[in-house]
Amino acid sequence: MPKAPARPKKPANKPRPKYKRIVLKVSGEALREDTSRDNISPQIVQRIAAQIKEVHEMGVELAIVIGGGNIWRGLSASHRGMERTTADYMGMLATVINGLALQSQLEQLGVPTRVQTAIPIQSVAEPFIRRRAMRHLELGRVVIFVAGTGNPFFSTDTTAALRASEVCAEVILKATKVDGIYTADPFKDPTATRYRHITYSEALSKRLSVMDSTAFTLCMDNKVPIIVFDLMAPNNIRNVVLGRNVGTIVSE
């Protein structure tokens, strides 16, 4: 008897992301090699962009808040004698440079991207308009928020908390160089252990330096959870978005 035709194989089920809309906070220091004098490492930007593309292709709506500490830190400059407001505005401009670098790499990978700035710089970026940002996300564009909140004395961590609340993001992914929040500095104390979960109140009372108190309070008031994770581990943004056991969750 003739053999029955082979049944076509069912396509493997694609993993379903836990979050539909996220805000990814990337520090400026994450863009720089520790052993290099260059403020921006093209190789690191490429790796970050590749991870973002992977998550974008899963259908996740992705906004990014980027810092500028690899180029300029306003608070540090003010401690060395510079007037704080001027130093902070210089730091905001540094975030614009980083945002354009990330946009360039994402577009080379075919990811549609928009940069929105809190300080009007019409030649290089759109002004931040909440409804326009949300529409970009709905249309599958990655939105990069730069220039902080547009005000001195506020960190880019606070910007991430503010923008996440404004665009109705489900979670903030705080990308760092360590794999979560620890009881002590893991680079200095080998006995330090990682928290799997911690509340906003605990984070504030313990004065954890992973985010400033304004950012924690804003997230607490608006019920936006934070996941602190290691950006440099392969596929870690994807792992967090899929809800895997990565990093530390800060929530109610």
Q: Is residue 118 part of a domain?
A: yes
CATH code at 59? 3.40.1160.10
Name the least confident of 11-15, 161-165, 215-219, 230-234. 11-15
pLDDT of residue 89: 94
**CA atoms lying within 13 Å on the CB side of residue 125:** 29
pLDDT of residue 7: 56
Q: Is residue 236 part of a domain?
A: yes
**CA atoms lying within 13 Å on the CB side of residue 150:** 12
pTM: 0.90
Q: Is residue 5 part of a domain?
A: no
Q: Is residue 7 part of a domain?
A: no
**Residues composing the chain:** 252
Q: Are 248 and 227 in contact (CB under 8 A)?
A: yes
Sheet holding 21-26, edge to edge: 126-127, 113-117, 142-146, 61-66, 21-26, 171-176, 226-230, 248-251, 197-199
Q: Is residue 6 part of a domain?
A: no
Structural domains in the chain (count): 1
Strand 126-127 and strand 171-176: the pairing is unpaired
Nearest 5 degrees, angle CA 223-CA 148-CA 250? Answer: 25
- pLDDT per residue over 55-105, tens digit each? 999 999 999 999 999 998 877 777 788 899 999 999 999 999 999 999 999
Q: Is residue 238 part of a domain?
A: yes
Q: Is residue 12 part of a domain?
A: no
Domain that holds residue 30: 21-251
Q: Is residue 147 part of a domain?
A: yes
pLDDT of residue 133: 98
